[in-house]
Structure formats: C-alpha cells, structure tokens
Structure 1
C-alpha cells in the first residue's frame, strides 16, 4: 500500500511538471469564445434583431403597439392652444376623489415648484418676479382658469412656464391644480 501511494505521488509530481505552460508551445483553449470574444463597438448598429420591417435592429427596443407604461393614465388632449381652450370649455375636473386630495402635500408641491414665480398666495408675486427675473406672471385672481386648464398647463407648459410633467406625477399635478383653485378662491 505504501508503494502504491509513493507511485501515485511521484506520478502526480511528474504530470504537474509536464503540464506547466511552455511559451514556445501554447496551451489548448477548451472554450475559445471565452478567451477571444468578438469585440463590438459601443452604440454601433447590430444585426442581432434583423427584420423585414427595415427598422435596422430596433424592434427589440420598441414597445408593442397600444401599450402604455404601468401606472400611466393617458391624457387625450394634445399640446396645442386649441386643446387648452377645449379643456377650459369642457371644464375638466380632477379624477381624484376630493377626500383623497392631501392639501398639505399639494401645498408643499406648490411651494416647491410654483411659488418661486406665482407666489405663495398665487398673486403672481413670487421671489423671481420680485427680483425682476421674470415679468408678467399672472395672478390667479385675474385668470379664467379651472382645474383642467391648470393641469394642462402643468403638463405641457405655457409661454415662459415650462412643463412639469417630468417633476410631478399625474396625481401630484391634479393635487396642485386643486390647490391652485383653492388659492384662487381665497384671492
């Protein structure tokens, strides 16, 4: 038994020395794709998604027709002056339950995003107006607005005011619109 153990140890040592890498003779690659992968250029066109539609490999990145993202509610009015007039004429109301609207949260959102120009009271005398950075910001008292028109303007922007659709969700925009109508009633 001892001799068998000695023979196994000596054979193991001989095999380990003979299997060491020799720079003059390269070793075999068992999975050459792992060692030498195909290098793709970043942002280059790929034939991975070829299709007869002629989209050049982009159909794997496009959402299916008619799909909407989770939690999103479509807004059917486009970004046009005529659509704003239609929203005002339709007297569009908030889809939120009036008991669900958290006016404290709506006030916080208004103070963060709107009060810098429109003022905390909605009188058009925000900090930037007082510093004369922006002129002509209207008071809510002088405007013919409703919840729908406020939501529409927040969604698309109007004149110097940009869109807040990226900063505020639809629910938050409706909450701010309800708060603006509350401010208008106090003016």
Structure 2
C-alpha cells in the first residue's frame, strides 16, 4: 500500500474515531490536558501506526520549550542552568515542537507547533511558522493531539493540509522577525 493510500485510510479512521469520541463525550478529559500530555498522546499514536505508515518513524520532538528546574543566583535572580545551557547550544525560542523530515508532494518536510486545546501561539512561534513556510516546509500549529494527528496525516496527501494558522502578512518574515541566536 502506498504512503498516500495508507494516510488516507488512517485519516478516515481518525476522523471516525474523533467523531465517535465527540458524540460519546469521551474526549472531554482532553480539554484539561496540558501540552505535554497532548504531545505524548500524539507520539504514542504515531508509534503504534509506524507499521501502517512507515514515515511516521521520522517524527521527532524538538525540546525547545518546557518548564526547567530553576535556581537562585548570587544576586537573587531566578534562572535555569539547563535553559542557559540549551541557549548556548543554539536553541531558538519559538521553533516548532515537532518535525517530520520526509518530503511529500513537493513539500520539504513538516514542522508542527502543538498547543493544548486552550493554548495560544507566541510571536516567536508565529515567526518560525512563516519562515519555515517560505523555506518550503509545511509549517503550522495544531490545537490538541487529534488536530495534530489530522494535520500529520493530511501532510502525506497530494493536496496540502488546510492551514490552522494564517499570518497577517504573506511576505517572508514581515512582522515576524525571528528571535536572535543565543542568550535572551
């Protein structure tokens, strides 16, 4: 079975499952999940479906954000040694959470910012999405693991996925400057 056919079959199954969950209200607890829980659920689903859709094995998480242990400096300021180390290593604020380095139908790959159902995009996240779109990636935001799963499966179809987030301007980086490299 081709990647496209497998994605179409899984997308039909996902839509049917999502419809059933909404009808039976079994998806209500997901409304209180944090972003991390949605990430874990999506990765668990993708891992279980690698035999059906092998490119899902290329899905990865970028550990840019998250809460990090903090300490108090000698001057009394709070800081995170791990966050400082990651910044020195080249971590960029706002870079999308998930990536899939598998070209499909003229798109270089997929970059996905996954938010909780109540989450909001930050300016740096919007800037990266715009930049990556202009670089040939399908880059977008999804709210909740079910939305992310649908976008992920639609990525493998010939028609590009419907965008979940649209910038105010269509010019590269216009009103969406990327954050600087290094320390905040």
Larger radius of gyration: 1
TM-score bucket (shorter structure): under 0.3
User: Larger strand proportion, structure 1 or 2?
Assistant: 2
Higher relative contact order at CA 8 Å, sep ≥6: structure 1 or structure 2?
A: 2
What TM-score results when the alignment is normalised by the length of structure 2? 0.24
What TM-score results when the alignment is normalised by the length of structure 1? 0.24
